[in-house]
Structure 1
Amino acid sequence: MTDMNPSPAPSGASAAAEKPAAAGRLLGAADIRHIAAEAGISPTKKFGQNFVIDPGTVRRIVREAAVTADTRVLEVGPGLGSLTLAILETGATMTAVEIDPPVAQRLPHTIDTYMPDARNRLTVINKDALALTSADLPEFSGDEPFTLVANLPYNVATPIILTLLERFDMLTSFVVMVQKEVADRLTATPGSKIYGAPSVKLAWYGSAERVGNIGRHVFWPAPNVDSALAGFTRVQSHAGPRDPQLRQLTFQLVDAAFSQRRKTLHAALKRMVPDEVFHTAGIDPTRRGETLTIDEFAALATALRQSQHEQGQASS
């Protein structure tokens, strides 16, 4: 782990004045290739690495995420530091989580070179984001909200998002660059052809929308797919805070319903949900999973849990 602990962030109205935008410059294509060559780093498919070479793109991501000097930022997959520098440019304090050891080791040196005044506001952790816990990120485990701003590895983007939202209650928003098809699925609404388990699970935590498209030419190497920006805000359900203990059962129903999306709920969930549970939840069993909102899936899980509880009492 490379750990450069930032000094405590100032609070209150004077924070922005105490942390002005950092002096320095962002990375262009020549800088990225120079850093990679000097450090002996080559983009790998294993880690889904495509490095951003356009300063305008990373500034756009930071702008969409509304990052200011008062924002606490988590970045996953910083790569060679293009987006990292754009985040630090605002005066924000941040932690970058990088799975590739040589890349994680190189990042602080890049900040020293291109934006040295921002060095004490960056912490770099060499770890798989899917294995992160509150012990790894103590600075994000309190009661203060933070935001995720990242160019996520395309092959694991959805698991990373859902894992972080589950483990960190104060992750209240994100703007991430992902494969366009992933962004479409994350932000899809009930009834659409691309609405599926990722759409429903993300909706458990809040509201998502697509906030922009990204061309292939801004990456090195250029990917074979288009990219997009997905934005998210954590919100409560209309019925109030969701029951965390109900989440696992709800997600099991979601996975089962979408594993056979051509089938009705009655057929897809026949091994899990008795007929009377549909009636209790007010859900028509002839509907398909792709037509249900997250609130309806949660209502079905609530009715199923109550049925299981009653059966357990009857048998005891």
Structure 2
Amino acid sequence: MVELLGPAEIRGLAAELDVRPTKKLGQNFVHDPNTVRRIVELAGVGAGDVVLEVGPGLGSLTLGLLGAGAEVIAVEIDPVLAGRLPATVAERGPEAAGQLTVVGADALRVKAADLPAEPVALVANLPYNVAVPVVLHLLAELPSLTRGLVMVQTEVADRMAAGPGSRIYGVPSVKLAWYGRARKVAAVPRAVFWPVPNVDSALVSFERAQFSFENKKSGTEESIVDKEALFGVVDAAFAQRRKTLRAALAGWAGSADRAGAVLAAAGIDPRTRGEQLDVGDFARIVAAAGRAPRSSGA
């Protein structure tokens, strides 16, 4: 049986390692065993699952995942924390020690080749300042990831799961939607962390799905679209989100007239704003850009 960490154990480990949680690394350690159990349950991981955990810290969630029978690949940028984690597992769940691999690396730069196996799930308490970039990087780099559950700042969770037309809908919402479905599943109280953060937290789940979009002219489903091209259009559309798409995409397309022609070819009103489009609409813009004629000035 794996013993989870409580408040006293968390503070004891921090004191032993002379760890002083920093805002720069987004370090807020979960010290409530019931919260850990809830996260593991909501993640739906168990025996035989290879789970990627980013920022395991002192090991609270790591122990919970191992206790559920999962194989855990823990990516930790802090060498002191990375070095202590195997010993913590050996002390509190020796029978699960062989299920853990610690990779000392920056999650924003980790590659598939850096990992000993292909993870199927991402379960993590992510540093809030890099949560979205980390998730997008890992989804792009690790096609084996089919699902995940991450704890992030509530405002970030809302943006990740937002739909078109919402004030908080933006770049993270669209790019995550390209990979699959994201949804906010639960709030996490501040009191379960040490130190107590000055922001609220929430859990976001996602499931990877094969991207497709409707060709409105033929009525058929298409799946071929260049991701980088799509993301470029999304970035351009939301860089000036108060402008109409005709104006916002002028730089991307080469001119406002060219942007208008592409939008018309995609079946989208040029007066529309980016926050009104779903990921399929952005894909249609990319597809139309390859068909719409260029003017000599563009």
Calculate the TM-score normalised by the size of structure 1: 0.87
- Pick from 175, 179, 185: which aligns with 2:149? 175
Structure 1: runs of 5 or more not aligned: 1-22
Verify the 8 A CA contact 2:161 2:183 in the aligned structure 1: yes
Determine the structure 2 residue equivalent to 1:9: none
Q: Does 1:289 align with 2:289?
A: no
Tell which deviates more after alignment, 270-279 or 31-40.
Answer: 270-279
1:135-183: CA deviation from partner (whole Å, max 9, x where unpaired): 101411xxxx600000000000000000011111111111000000000
Determine the structure 1 residue equivalent to 2:265: 280
- Pick from 25, 28, 42: which aligns with 1:64? 42
| 1:171 counterpart SS class | coil
Determine the structure 2 residue equivalent to 1:8: none
Distance (Å, rounded) in 2 between the aligned partners of 1:101 and 1:242: 42
Determine the structure 1 residue equivalent to 2:218: none
Q: Map 1:140-155 onto structure 2 (within 5 A).
A: 140=118, 146-155=120-129
- Pick from 13, 34, 42: which aligns with 1:35? 13
Task: State the one-letter code of the partner of 1:69.
Answer: A
Determine the structure 2 residue equivalent to 1:258: 238
Q: Map 1:33-112 onto structure 2 (within 5 A).
A: 33-112=11-90
Calculate the TM-score normalised by the size of structure 2: 0.92
Cα deviation for residue 306 of structure 1 reads 3.7
Cα deviation for residue 241 of structure 1 reads 7.4
Verify the 8 A CA contact 2:2 2:64 in the aligned structure 1: no
Determine the structure 2 residue equivalent to 1:11: none
Cα deviation for residue 94 of structure 1 reads 1.2
Cα deviation for residue 46 of structure 1 reads 1.8
Cα deviation for residue 242 of structure 1 reads 4.1
Following TM superposition, the consecutive aligned residue runs of length 4 or more in structure 1 with deviations greater than 6 angstroms are: none
Q: How many residues align?
A: 284
Distance (Å, rounded) in 1 between the aligned partners of 2:102 and 2:66: 13
Q: Does 1:26 align with 2:4?
A: yes
Task: State the one-letter code of the partner of 1:277.
Answer: V
Determine the structure 2 residue equivalent to 1:161: 135
Determine the structure 2 residue equivalent to 1:188: 162
Distance (Å, rounded) in 1 between the aligned partners of 2:282 and 2:72: 36
Determine the structure 1 residue equivalent to 2:227: 247
| 2:85 counterpart SS class | helix
> Identity of paired residues, percent?
55
Seen in structure 2, the aligned counterparts of structure 1 residues 217 and 130 have a Cα distance that, compared at 3 Å, is same
Distance (Å, rounded) in 2 between the aligned partners of 1:89 and 1:170: 23
Cα deviation for residue 238 of structure 1 reads 4.2
Distance (Å, rounded) in 2 between the aligned partners of 1:120 and 1:138: 13
| 2:152 counterpart SS class | strand
| 2:207 counterpart SS class | strand
Structure 2: runs of 5 or more not aligned: 214-220
1:218-243: CA deviation from partner (whole Å, max 9, x where unpaired): 00000000000000000123446744
Seen in structure 2, the aligned counterparts of structure 1 residues 292 and 138 have a Cα distance that, compared at 3 Å, is same
Q: CA RMSD in A?
A: 1.7
Task: State the one-letter code of the partner of 1:267.
Answer: A
Cα deviation for residue 45 of structure 1 reads 1.5
Task: State the one-letter code of the partner of 2:39.
Answer: I
1:68-99: CA deviation from partner (whole Å, max 9, x where unpaired): 11211000000000000000001111100000
Task: State the one-letter code of the partner of 1:253.
Answer: V
| 1:135 counterpart SS class | helix
Distance (Å, rounded) in 2 between the aligned partners of 1:85 and 1:282: 51
Verify the 8 A CA contact 2:50 2:117 in the aligned structure 1: no
Seen in structure 2, the aligned counterparts of structure 1 residues 283 and 241 have a Cα distance that, compared at 3 Å, is closer
Distance (Å, rounded) in 1 between the aligned partners of 2:228 and 2:134: 17
Cα deviation for residue 272 of structure 1 reads 2.2
